[in-house]
Structure 1
């Protein structure tokens, strides 16, 4: 992508932010991570130049919303414990899965086909400089999307992500995990929303370091396979509503 095209993505006169939407489809985790890092690093580079620029000329930064799916992979965040992966190298090979230690917050999680993995790379100076509000907005977008399917979801105190029956210790189950990185108010990484995910893969980890909670997916809750493209469109509309943005 050429820089002169990238720099056209900003805000319109009404204050509605313009965000470039990218759907990378099914993509290797490391490849997606590298592509994320490139967009993230470019935004941080521009912000650093703007900060140090003494002549007052400011180069605009860009905002992105990326959706994708990954082949089976386990990722461990900065605060995670390696022992929360319950497979050795042979076990990973047998499951046709890979494993990465990465630079987001949170513990261990699983990504695989049938998830909507969302990577917002946003310059929060365009929105609000509050990382907790940012996380709550991501959660709320998932909650509102589930409401469209007749499912009531919410949060669990002290835990990031979206839960069903979160206040019931016997029935609580997680449907969306989150882990983000933020530097100079630029975000990367994001969320993994279980739509048609193979939940058996969660049996090989202590999900997000939480030993006494189950995981679930939209298709399990509804008892049928879900049109993931339909779910993507609903989720995109909820994110646009909450963040007051248009996708281009």
Structure 2
């Protein structure tokens, strides 16, 4: 069981669902040659995909084209069902910067066959998560700069105001489908600039005022 220390709880809470949002920035949708969605695109990762700051992303032998996707992550501290959008941020205990690692070749094949993305998104270490920031310190999650460097070179740079669906909207939407529980994570989508990572790369993900998330990349097999 994987646990996180929630700031307002003062205790460890088990990580349950990892909810992820696809195509939540218009420019990223464009670079993927996809339309901007009319409703959030939601998929799941297992908790075993988590890896923390200073950890290692393992490139699986099944894929030859793993991509980085830097994201704002909201950590649920108070559960709920059918949460009103105007109350949604009250359910967030913390925020963090995260990475949604994606086996792009496997994802492309799944899309071609009309299959789910689970395999492409769910490998162990495919959900790096930075140190948590108390939500009370984040005045507006839609007013944050976000970027990723690979070996010191800027690869992604964006702003959360450019999300198609706000954090509050995403929480409200997801809560109409899933009962949200303390320790659930919401990866809110990535800006444009996604690209491949290689064995030996060092990734640094940053969001305004947040601690840096740094992970190394290693080929397995």
TM-score by length of 2: 0.33
Greater RCO structure (CA 8 Å; 6+ sep):
2
Structure of higher CA gyration radius = 1
TM-score, normalised by the number of residues in structure 1: 0.31
Bigger proportion of residues as helix: 1
Higher strand residue share: 2
